[in-house]
A and B are shown apart, each in its own frame.
Chain A
């Protein structure tokens, strides 16, 4: 199956290892992955901050770049939600766009992707994947099938981590108060790895954990699922 990867601007720029993991994982599962180099950003930051007019040409661009593909895979619930729920309100008919876990479970029909990840992991379901896309427990089903992975439940998992895009800087103190509670829940699990399907939320929680030298590493779901015994995940420095 031919799929297009929409890496998202954040992952492309800050977390290339996540996008490489998506490629590795999808190719292992028999997909042929293309990365149209003309892609940039879905326009979510502009739209959500009130710059609707600026988000329109970006939505347009997304349709132009990915319009020829039957399946577009995005390693972000938030950006997939922007494309699916918001682009149509901006006058676009976007191509079929899936968050990674949705694509694996719903389109490819797999939960065991042959991954191996010998670490204690807790999972934070990000707000847009949970409430905009309704991915439900698909990511958990995928994680439960990973060999050697010890999954621990995150208390209060459905509550927002406080990122919220520009909310994190416009209301930095409230955002930090939310982050503090999220970090407390993460630390309570004794997990070594915090997993989520959105690098934006991981950058937020991970940024707080890093500041505290808390000893918990944020890792995107794609990287865990791409990891195998032969070619295991390695922490990037």
Chain B
């Protein structure tokens, strides 16, 4: 089986990647500023809604219903799309999906295609696959374009260039577009606009993802804020949409919930600026050929896990990234995948499906379990619970390790209070390592703590010893 490109080839484990990222002071500044701003704006946008908690519950329930009926709803979607003149393709994995899209591009003799920002195509490594097949994919979302022109990797689901500030963006544009431009946001946007407009008007094939697909009408929905998506979805002759099989909603009415939840959670907007909806092909209006590529790529396997499957509710809003204290320090690239942050820590290992992989196995531990992600998730994914669930699977996959032996010993001690008391007394001898009431250096693995933190000297008398003496 081919490697699942959801993780980037050669990515180090999370602690190693974080080691590098944490030392990048520019990155730290950019992230602190960006996440701090969006966090405050989201909180304000959500506070306006009196029924927010009910909307979250509705979002959760609709998505759970979809996951429970995915087999029949997908067939219904295929029938609806086909009836309206679209063609539906099914792809088991990334390799199959990429081959389908490349063949479709070749059938149109396309050497260049424009793209609407899409997580599904990033997940399967479509751009690289197309390039290998002689087709150039041009990203048209501003942040995605910055990443593409910078030969960089995305670091955020919604704002892939969140790790870049405007002077870095100016440098990338000057180098790759061959233009003189200032670092004023309006000038940078104008440079991108001029560069992209030519592409929109000359390119015959567009590729998009989908935020939602309505099973009973066959309508596909894309939300974006720049208008580039609208251009891609209306100007070219052929439109290819690549979509994960979990992106369904049963009926048109269900969109009402998500069109409220998603904008406020992701961009802190009350209403999404550009919401494009199309149903198959409309003669004389928009693309005259429409292909829908449905990808599994680990989703069916994820669905079999009764705890882990809630990750498939995700609507890719990024709220969990923006509030995550780990993400704020390490940035998205440390997660080694197109899905960073808390959702990435639970989704990536499941899509990879192999917890003996050291990089995937490190992701569920990339969290202090503070719970800020669960609090903001618009579809109520209990990320901390899935993290501990996946950690248990990692432990099982790894088998016997130094850690597992130590943990077994600790559990044995804790099972009997007599053993625990003996260990407590032995441990209290560590007070002789202390100077001025603190221990500043311990041998490994304690050194992982004392590298930056002192340990208080254990007292000579534990509480239970005191209780026994005075109250027992």
Closest partner residue, chain A, to B15 (CB atom): A171
The minimal Cβ–Cβ distance linking A203 to chain B, given in whole angstroms, is 7
- Whether B371 pairs with A12 at a CB distance below 8 angstroms is no
- Whether B459 pairs with A37 at a CB distance below 8 angstroms is no
- Whether B371 pairs with A207 at a CB distance below 8 angstroms is no
Residues of chain A contacted by B453 (CB below 8 angstroms):
168, 176, 179, 204, 207-208, 210-211
Does B374 interact with chain A (Cβ within 8 Å)? yes
- A198-223 interface bits toward B, Cβ cutoff 8 Å, 1 = contact, 0 = none: 00000110111011000000000000
- Whether B464 pairs with A131 at a CB distance below 8 angstroms is no
- Whether B464 pairs with A51 at a CB distance below 8 angstroms is no
Residues of chain A contacted by B416 (CB below 8 angstroms):
40
**Given contacts A164-B369, A174-B330, A177-B329, A16 and B466 within 8 Å (CB-CB):** yes
Does A120 interact with chain B (Cβ within 8 Å)? no
Most buried by B among A50, A169, A171: A50
The minimal Cβ–Cβ distance linking B398 to chain A, given in whole angstroms, is 9
- A13-32 interface bits toward B, Cβ cutoff 8 Å, 1 = contact, 0 = none: 11110011000000000000
**B463 is contacted by which of A20, A159, A171 (Cβ under 8 Å)?**
A20
- Whether B414 pairs with A169 at a CB distance below 8 angstroms is no
**Given contacts A46-B411, A47-B388, A49-B391, A12 and B368 within 8 Å (CB-CB):** no
Which B residues from 167 to 201 make CB contacts under 8 A with A?
none
Report the number of A-B residue pairs with Cβ-Cβ less than 8 Å.
190
Does B370 interact with chain A (Cβ within 8 Å)? yes
Binds B, one of A53-61, A99-107, A141-149, A187-195: A53-61
- Whether A167 pairs with B420 at a CB distance below 8 angstroms is no
- Whether B369 pairs with A46 at a CB distance below 8 angstroms is no
Does B462 interact with chain A (Cβ within 8 Å)? yes
Which B residues from 230 to 288 make CB contacts under 8 A with A?
none
Does B49 interact with chain A (Cβ within 8 Å)? no
**Given contacts A9-B414, A11-B463, A50 and B388 within 8 Å (CB-CB):** yes
Closest partner residue, chain B, to A34 (CB atom): B471
Does B50 interact with chain A (Cβ within 8 Å)? no
Residues of chain B contacted by A175 (CB below 8 angstroms):
368
- B452-464 interface bits toward A, Cβ cutoff 8 Å, 1 = contact, 0 = none: 1111101101111
Binds A, one of B74-82, B99-107, B437-445: B437-445
- Whether A20 pairs with B410 at a CB distance below 8 angstroms is no
Closest partner residue, chain A, to B371 (CB atom): A131
**Given contacts A172-B452, A173-B19, A48 and B391 within 8 Å (CB-CB):** yes
- Whether A131 pairs with B374 at a CB distance below 8 angstroms is yes
**B388 is contacted by which of A48, A127, A128, A203 (Cβ under 8 Å)?**
A48
Residues of chain A contacted by B437 (CB below 8 angstroms):
237
- Whether B22 pairs with A50 at a CB distance below 8 angstroms is no
**A132 is contacted by which of B371, B388, B448 (Cβ under 8 Å)?**
B371
Does B143 interact with chain A (Cβ within 8 Å)? no
- By secondary structure, the B interface counts as helix
**A39 is contacted by which of B15, B372, B404, B417 (Cβ under 8 Å)?**
B417
Does B407 interact with chain A (Cβ within 8 Å)? yes
Taking residues whose C-beta sits less than 8 angstroms from the other chain, chain A's interface range is: 35 or more
Residues of chain A contacted by B14 (CB below 8 angstroms):
171
Residues of chain B contacted by A55 (CB below 8 angstroms):
411
Does B85 interact with chain A (Cβ within 8 Å)? no
**A207 is contacted by which of B393, B448, B449 (Cβ under 8 Å)?**
B449
- Whether B472 pairs with A170 at a CB distance below 8 angstroms is no
Residues of chain A contacted by B456 (CB below 8 angstroms):
14-15, 203, 206-207, 210
Which A residues from 100 to 120 make CB contacts under 8 A with B?
none
Does A2 interact with chain B (Cβ within 8 Å)? no
A45 to B370, CA, bound (A): 14
Which B residues from 299 to 337 make CB contacts under 8 A with A?
325-326, 329-330
The minimal Cβ–Cβ distance linking A38 to chain B, given in whole angstroms, is 5
Does A165 interact with chain B (Cβ within 8 Å)? yes
Does A163 interact with chain B (Cβ within 8 Å)? yes
The minimal Cβ–Cβ distance linking A135 to chain B, given in whole angstroms, is 13
Does B2 interact with chain A (Cβ within 8 Å)? no
Closest partner residue, chain A, to B455 (CB atom): A207
The minimal Cβ–Cβ distance linking A95 to chain B, given in whole angstroms, is 18
7 additional contacts (CB under 8 A) given A13-B462, A35-B463 = A12-B424, A39-B417, A54-B410, A172-B15, A172-B448, A179-B452, A211-B454
Show the binding face of A for B, using Cβ within 8 Å.
7, 9, 11-16, 19-20, 35, 37-41, 43, 45-52, 54-55, 57-58, 61, 127-128, 130-132, 158-160, 162-179, 203-204, 206-208, 210-211, 236-237
Show the binding face of B for A, using Cβ within 8 Å.
14-15, 18-19, 22, 28, 325-326, 329-330, 364-372, 374-375, 388, 391-395, 403-404, 407-408, 410-411, 414-417, 420, 424, 427-428, 437-438, 440, 445, 448-449, 451-456, 458-459, 461-468, 471-472
Which 5 pairs across A and B sit closest by C-beta, in order of nearness? A164-B368, A207-B453, A50-B391, A160-B370, A54-B411
12 contacts across the A-B interface (CB closer than 8 A): A35-B463, A49-B395, A55-B411, A159-B325, A160-B370, A165-B368, A167-B369, A170-B365, A171-B326, A177-B329, A207-B449, A236-B459
